[in-house]
């Protein structure tokens, strides 16, 4: 009794350890998903684990990020992933099939199970009552190879919903309201658990939108109950048999609570350059815009598309605006083609993209210089759109569609139009993009294109760590900063040496030069270091450049694990003001590094300033062992065979 929904699933899947907040436990993984931009590293590492077939009930490899094929690189990566999928009993979802999170929600996600995905927005599955967690690529490879995932038991944040959303509002406006309240680090260390009467009124897709952007709160994941709405959604997707109910015990214990009346939710907008820089749309109504993009794993469901279609019907996109629409899955695209919504979009003057991440990760549709882009996406970090000086605002599909017509940011609150869209009773299926594993393909050779390079592995730890501070950065540095992604760099996700040329290039032009000059060194960061994407490249690139430790005020969860997995030591200032006592190019040393890792306390000797600073580390026993052998791959070789 007294169990929250998350605790129920964790206890059911518990393999090792005690379910006490702060403890690291091992849980059984039922499903995994990968996408192509993190996937090549996942599958390179999976091959190293020398398995026959995956230990999960279901593993799916999606191709949705690297869809532009300006050269051979992306196509080679897809071929590589397909070949590994065939060898190890993994379902392969071809390019064009749709965005991993949306397709997984439609086709595979199951309430009451654990899903681990190599993408930070894996929590989208929480909309279905699935405990869906984003992780680094190696963690996902290990989940496939061994069937488990190690996680520190999080605290549980109860978001109690009451009331009902107006038709002009969207799950997006709910999560933007929460981001305004809690900020991009407000969910760190928590699972966000949504309960209350208000849940009943939310469609599964609105729930999924909210769960999706829980990633922007820094939360481990987000979860909704599995109820009548969930059942209806699964039945409509032809998967009624996958339904099981989920709700918290009436006396469930929570660590924090936030109450939200859905009746109070109005259209919201996240202003440049962070998802928590939120205002009411009505407060900046009239802002002139150049581009509108509707899609991404946050807002590309059937209901989202139809809300946009209702607004665009018999209307025309403003002459100064480029509207681009990418439906979340091939099945949604098919439905829109059949019900006429696609022709509404085209008639209105929209540009239609194939189903995939597209502009969300800078794969095309970069705005013009200094352009203002309104997007239904989840991240508006500087430069992510592909244009460094563009300004990206995040909104709902309703706000986006109306603004595209008006040519300026416009709130749908006062629109005299029925915006209600119900879920379909039957979504049908589109199986044509899936390749299901077949016994006769199990010995297919691994297809390695010339751009696919080895995964770097950590070097043995010496007695101490010494070197220069080769970079000092501020708060909320993202993995997009550490290892930028855009149409030019995404094709090199399987080539860490090449990517290393661009490390931190959004913040400084010559990080690699400095790292090379000093033979690596130490990075100093602020609060929430490594927020955003799950890409382990943000650890592998620094590893390749011989970064030995990162010292920050605090870390984002997935990046913290990725650093440890790579064998780079993440340490925290015991006293955050000491951040000011270390400067770029200071000569520093951490003596007795092994002892430090074990006791969780360290001293940073600043030889330049002749001072010393106290650092702390909070590592689980497993993480200590991983760091001692310089990375999780090395550890797996010794421990889990
Ligand atoms: C993102 O939205 O930032 C991405 C691109 O989907 C990443 C994964 C990646 O970097 O490949 C994520 O969210 O984890
Ligand atoms: Fe793709 Fe964007 Fe979703 Fe990341 S956030 S998975 S890039 S659609």
Last residue of a domain, one of 391, 410, 429: 410
Q: Do 316 and 358 fall into the same domain?
A: yes
Give the whole-angstrom CA distance, residue 242 versus residue 234. Answer: 7
User: For the stretch 160-173, what's the b/e string if a residue is b when 16 or more beta carbons lie within 10 angstroms of its beta carbon?
Assistant: bbeebbbbbbbbbb
**CB count in 10 Å sphere of residue 546:** 17
Please return the burial class of 418, using the count of CB atoms within 10 Å of its CB with bins 0-12, 13-18 and 19+.
exposed
Any ligand 2 atom below 6 A from CB of 113: no
Q: Do 406 and 495 fall into the same domain?
A: no
- For a substitution probing ligand 1, which of 274, 356, 361 has the most ligand atoms within 8 Å of its CB? 361
Termini Cα distance of the chain: 37
Whole-number pLDDT of residue 480: 95
Protein residue with least CA distance to atom 1, ligand 1: 533
Among the bound ligands, the one closest to the CA of 355: 2
**CB count in 10 Å sphere of residue 20:** 8
Quick one: DSSP state of residue 531?
Answer: B
Q: Tens digits of per-residue pLDDT, 418-445? A: 999 999 999 999 999 999 999 999 998 9
Alpha-carbon 425 to chain mean position: 30
pTM of the model: 0.97
Any ligand 1 atom below 6 A from CB of 485: yes
Among the bound ligands, the one closest to the CA of 328: 2
Q: Find the mean pLDDT for residues 346-366.
A: 97
Residue 327 structural domain: 281-410
Choose the weakest-confidence range: 28-32, 249-253, 440-444, 581-585.
Answer: 440-444
Helices (H), 483-631: 496-499, 511-517, 537-544, 557-566, 593-599, 621-628
Protein residue with least CA distance to atom 7, ligand 2: 361
Place of tokens 């509108």: 292
Protein residue with least CA distance to atom 3, ligand 1: 533
Q: Do 400 and 493 fall into the same domain?
A: no
Q: Do 303 and 213 fall into the same domain?
A: no
Q: Quote the tokens at residue 573.
A: 């200032």
Residue 641 has pLDDT above 60, yes or no: no
Quick one: DSSP state of residue 621?
Answer: H
Peptide bond between residue 464 and the one before it cis (omega within 30 degrees of 0) = no
If you write DSSP's letter for every residue of 545-574 in order, what string do you get? TTEEEEEES-B-HHHHHHHHHHTPEEEEES
Q: What CATH number did the domain enclosing 211 receive? A: 3.30.499.10
Q: Tens digits of per-residue pLDDT, 165-193? A: 999 999 999 999 999 999 999 999 999 99
Residue 576 · residue 549 · CB < 8 Å: no
Residue 107 C-alpha to ligand 1 middle, in angstroms? 21
Q: Quote the tokens at residue 525.
A: 């960061």
- For a substitution probing ligand 1, which of 533, 561, 562 has the most ligand atoms within 8 Å of its CB? 533
Any ligand 1 atom below 6 A from CB of 37: yes
Quick check: is 52 in a domain? yes
Residue 362 C-alpha to ligand 1 middle, in angstroms? 11
Residue 100 C-alpha to ligand 2 middle, in angstroms? 9
Domain count for the chain, please give it: 3
Q: Tens digits of per-residue pLDDT, 494-552? A: 999 999 999 999 999 999 999 999 999 999 999 999 999 999 999 999 999 999 999 99
Please return the burial class of 370, using the count of CB atoms within 10 Å of its CB with bins 0-12, 13-18 and 19+.
exposed
Any ligand 2 atom below 6 A from CB of 121: yes
Quick check: is 563 in a domain? yes
Residue 59 C-alpha to ligand 1 middle, in angstroms? 19
| Banded pLDDT at 575 (limits 50, 70, 90) | very high
Alpha-carbon 4 to chain mean position: 24
Q: Do 503 and 602 fall into the same domain?
A: yes
Whole-number pLDDT of residue 640: 63
Q: Do 302 and 219 fall into the same domain?
A: no
Q: Do 352 and 406 fall into the same domain?
A: yes
Q: Tens digits of per-residue pLDDT, 195-225? A: 999 999 999 999 999 999 999 999 999 999 9
Among the bound ligands, the one closest to the CA of 536: 1
Whole-number pLDDT of residue 460: 82
């Amino acid at each position: 009794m007294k169990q929250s929904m998350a605790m129920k699933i964790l206890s059911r899947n518990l393999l090792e350890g005690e379910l006490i907040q702060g403890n690291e436990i091992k849980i059984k993984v039922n499903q995994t998903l990968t996408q192509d931009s993190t996937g090549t590293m996942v599958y390179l590492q999976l091959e190293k684990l020398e398995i026959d077939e995956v230990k999960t009930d279901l593993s799916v490899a999606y191709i949705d990020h690297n869809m532009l094929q300006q050269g051979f690189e992306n196509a080679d990566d897809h071929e590589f992933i397909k070949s590994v999928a065939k060898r190890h009993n993994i379902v392969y979802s071809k390019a064009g099939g749709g965005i991993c999170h949306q397709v997984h929600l439609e086709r595979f996600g199951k309430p009451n199970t654990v899903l681990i995905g190599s993408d930070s927005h894996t929590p989208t599955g929480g909309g279905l009552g699935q405990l869906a967690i984003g992780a680094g690529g190696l963690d996902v490879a290990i989940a496939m190879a061994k069937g488990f995932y190690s996680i520190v038991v999080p605290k549980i944040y109860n978001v109690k919903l009451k009331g009902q959303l107006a038709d002009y509002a969207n799950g997006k406006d709910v999560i933007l309201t929460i981001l305004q309240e809690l900020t991009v680090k407000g969910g760190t260390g928590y699972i966000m658990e949504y309960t209350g009467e208000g849940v009943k009124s939310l469609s599964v897709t609105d729930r999924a939108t909210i769960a999706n952007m829980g990633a922007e709160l820094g939360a481990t994941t987000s979860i909704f109950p599995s109820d009548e709405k969930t059942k209806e959604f699964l039945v409509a997707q032809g998967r009624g048999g996958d339904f099981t109910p989920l709700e918290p015990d009436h006396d469930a214990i929570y660590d924090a609570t936030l109450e939200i009346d859905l009746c109070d939710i109005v259209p919201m907008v996240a202003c440049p350059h962070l998802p928590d820089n939120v205002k009411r749309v009505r407060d900046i109504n009239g802002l002139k815009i150049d581009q509108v993009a509707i899609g991404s794993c946050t807002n590309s469901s059937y209901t989202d598309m139809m809300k946009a279609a209702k607004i665009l019907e018999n209307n025309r996109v403003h002459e100064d605006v480029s509207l681009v629409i990418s439906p979340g899955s091939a099945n949604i695209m098919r439905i829109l083609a059949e019900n006429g919504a696609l022709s509404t979009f085209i008639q209105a003057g929209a540009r239609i993209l194939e189903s995939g991440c597209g502009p969300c990760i800078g794969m095309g549709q970069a705005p013009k210089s200094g352009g203002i882009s309104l997007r239904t996406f989840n991240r508006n970090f500087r430069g992510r759109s592909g244009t460094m000086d563009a300004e990206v605002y995040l909104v709902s599909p309703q706000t986006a569609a109306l603004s595209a017509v008006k040519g300026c940011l416009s709130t749908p609150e006062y629109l005299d139009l029925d915006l209600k869209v119900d879920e379909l009773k039957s979504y049908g299926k589109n199986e044509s993009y899936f390749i299901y594993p077949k016994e006769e393909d199990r010995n297919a050779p691994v297809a390695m294109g010339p751009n696919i390079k080895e995964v770097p592995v950590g070097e043995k730890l010496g007695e101490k760590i010494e070197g220069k501070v080769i970079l000092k950065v501020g708060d909320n540095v993202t993995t997009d900063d550490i290892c930028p992604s855009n149409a030019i760099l995404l094709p090199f996700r399987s080539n860490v040496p090449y990517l290393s040329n661009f490390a931190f290039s959004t913040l400084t032009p010559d990080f690699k030069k400095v790292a090379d000059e000093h033979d690596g060194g130490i990075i100093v960061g602020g609060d929430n270091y490594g927020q955003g994407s799950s890409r382990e490249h943000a650890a592998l690139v620094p590893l390749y450049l011989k970064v030995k430790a990162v010292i920050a005020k605090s870390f984002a969860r997935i990046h913290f694990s990725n650093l440890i997995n790579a064998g780079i030591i993440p340490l925290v200032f015991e006293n955050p003001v000491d951040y000011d006592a270390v400067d770029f190019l200071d000569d520093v040393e951490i003596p007795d590094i092994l002892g430090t890792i074990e006791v969780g306390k360290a001293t940073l000797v600043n030889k330049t300033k002749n001072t010393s600073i106290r650092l702390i580390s909070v590592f689980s026993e497993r993480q200590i062992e991983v760091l001692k052998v310089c990375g999780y791959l090395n550890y797996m070789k010794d421990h889990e065979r």
